[in-house]
Structure 1
């Protein structure tokens, strides 16, 4: 579903009214995508290559859709201050994009609405720390001049209150809905969502926000809300390498304690560790105590810095070990995938990771292990 492609019915008698409703709905959806994108970005494990002032402020803030009767509000704490702060965001969307200019009259309406939201926020005991305009449109020459004059300390066409807000107003570069949805998509990908799952989760997210808006309730677009709606579970965990890294360390402890002394046959260990670059399987053989387990552990520690590692005793490896392991990392949500789909989730969450994504370390293939009354090999 194209969220912003809401076409009006073709009936002649209702074209103008339906067109206005379509435009309003498109603007409302744009507003929601901005809220989703800001919340998703603030919760992401991965860093953005380019980040604006607004996106930076979203980190550590609570994103509220239609907070204080505005479009989006970012609630945050002010260090060493008695009051908490709020950043007010106004959203303006047009299907015509940058060819639709914001004229002076509309700009004044935006400033008036920001003032009304600021007045309500101050009444709630919050300090207003910023005003932002997010839009896919450009300003007309008249509006551009009004903003330049305000920042230069000139009153121009604005009244005192409008001028005060215009002086502080930060206008984000024009951004289409796809830009904001990309933030939500990146957040969802950290949980390994496949394409169809993301589309289904996005509809749940939209439905949840529309329901709360219909009840006239200010809705915090929290990380928990995004996770619940997108994945269908509150217990879902991200499967980025950074998020799983502590578990990989635990996996490697299955291979036993780290060696206390330098390996004697160091050249053999280094040679075995280097073979993985062009081999799918490496087997180390030798008498007990020659350092095979130590070399395997060291190799695993090296590789776990850039890839996913699973360490197992041979008896604990089943046919579906790949899907079982990745499902466990995801928080044991959903049903088990095929090995291909499970690895696709890892790839989605870690788009820059080189293959192989997942390595299996097996120690003691020829050893007998007694578990209860059973002997395993």
Structure 2
């Protein structure tokens, strides 16, 4: 017996209601998922916005750094504070472009010098960034004090063909630098830091060349310009005695005329080498022009300066250039701790002493008379 028309209509209404209810539930579920997705995307946008804000601050600090040492020190400080890292460390190649830059401000924990080929040997040259799970993967350059690290990001500095260092970022959280994560941000960071350091090294080299005498490797007169007309305390600090020695190669014109300019150049280099053997590396030696040099000795009184000058004079007396003995005339001037004269004045006094030594026959030291 077939259904009555009334029953058939009721079934149609029930089916319609059931379909509508299921559709509403599906829409509600889709709406919930969409809200969750939007919330996730908004959170990511917020996180990325914060991340790029910190990156902008970091890049601004890097660009404001004056030299490679200052830049590395700034990076260590900013990366630790801005990104809450448990380890920030440079591994830099000693024989690379950055190897000639002084890095005295960085501790042995912050900077480790490595030898040529070590980056390639451990397989870090091929990619910009490597993410490592420390417990699982290990890393041979880590130290005993790094045992607490869970993950590590290794950023190659320089090109794949010519890397000059690795920047390591470490975290105790093993999930912080998981190999499954994207590395776009870290790649950008590696490129910015690498290029910035290369440019800083180039600027430093150009600045050094501008104040360096090409023949002898000593400073040139341009080295003195920033402080020459200022009191000695602006350069050497207050209450510090400063001595100046002024050297002139005796019969330099005769050496050039008799033996040639190449012999004259050799004599100048021998003189500079002799001077350097008796002073500290931080004591500036300046070629004033021709065969004249000045030497500045911080924290040195007249007696000590005379002792140094005597040692240099005796050393030079043992030098021979093309079978001719090298002789020098030396002038000495000293500024007492309470006497804050200008650098130019001190050097001029030593210069006068040198001319007196030369007038008396040379191969001697003369102390400039006090005013």
| Larger RCO (alpha carbons 8 Å, 6+ apart) | 1
Q: Which one has the bigger strand percentage?
A: 2
Bigger Rg over Cα: 2
TM bracket (short chain): under 0.3
